[in-house]
């Protein structure tokens, strides 16, 4: 798997969402490495990607309350198990579940398997509450998709927290997840 620096030179086969992501990162002057690959919809499928980029791919979960009135994007280390009950108690939200693919596309502009912090580019109404596991902030880099799960980017964690999120006007809520019951 070859690692590239920055956006693809030939972007004729890229989706509109992916190109919008590269334009956004370029506008902010964010440097990143990229690998292109087959669809990677699970953390298990990201093992070779992590080796190539020499960083852990972030687990991104798009969640909602039972009434589908509040949406959350949770970023956490890919190797950590997710326990709904543990997160619910920290954010005082009962009955969290995974949001539908339809809501994901409507709100974040991404398809299932492509959820990413960069999908917040499409959340102009700022209707998604961003949750970040504190352990993720200890990593120098975060691996994430550019709104399409056939590429993965390696971006400095500080660039995400100090440049990307402020540009998107999203303030994260930090949580501490253990992955235990």
The Cα 15–Cα 27 span in angstroms is 18
Q: What is the CATH number of the domain that holds 36?
A: 3.90.960.10
Stated pTM of the model: 0.92
Contact in structure between 129 and 173 (CB atoms under 8 Å): yes
Residue 102 lies in domain: 3-175
Q: What is the DSSP letter of 116?
A: -
What does the pLDDT average to over 37-61?
84
Q: Give 154's strand partners.
A: 33, 143
Tokens encoding 132: 């970040």
Quick one: tokens of 136? 């993720």
pLDDT of res. 181: 61
Q: What's the total number of domains in the chain? A: 1
| Domain-located, residue 181 | no
How much is the pLDDT for 179? 77
Q: pLDDT-based confidence at 66, cuts 50/70/90?
A: confident
Is residue 180 one of the residues assigned to a domain? no
pLDDT at 47: 83
Q: Does any domain span residue 156? A: yes
In tens, the pLDDT along 85-118 reads: 899 989 988 789 999 999 999 999 999 888 999 9
pLDDT one-digit tens code per residue, 13-35: 899 999 999 999 999 999 999 99
So what's the pLDDT on residue 140?
96
pLDDT at 43 over 80: no
User: Residue 163 pLDDT more than 90?
Assistant: yes
What pLDDT, on a 0 to 100 scale, did the predictor assign at position 105?
94
Question: Is residue 139, in this structure, part of any structural domain at all?
Answer: yes
């Amino acid at each position: 798997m070859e690692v590239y620096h920055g956006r693809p030179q030939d972007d004729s086969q890229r989706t509109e969402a992916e190109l919008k992501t590269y334009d956004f990162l370029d506008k902010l002057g964010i440097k990143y490495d990229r690998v292109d690959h087959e669809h990677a919809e699970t953390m298990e499928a990201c093992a070779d990607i992590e080796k190539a980029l020499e960083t852990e791919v972030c687990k991104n979960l798009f969640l909602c309350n039972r009434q589908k009135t509040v949406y959350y994007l949770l970023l956490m280390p890919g190797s950590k198990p997710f326990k709904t009950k543990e997160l619910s108690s920290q954010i005082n939200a009962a009955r969290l579940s995974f949001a539908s693919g339809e809501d994901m596309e409507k709100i974040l502009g991404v398809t299932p398997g492509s959820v990413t912090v960069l999908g917040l580019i499409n959340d102009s109404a700022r209707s998604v509450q961003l949750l970040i596991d504190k352990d993720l902030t200890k990593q120098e880099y975060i691996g994430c998709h550019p709104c399409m799960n056939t590429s993965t980017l390696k971006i400095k964690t500080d660039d995400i927290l100090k440049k990307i999120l402020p540009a998107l006007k999203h303030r994260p809520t930090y949580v501490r997840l253990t992955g235990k019951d």
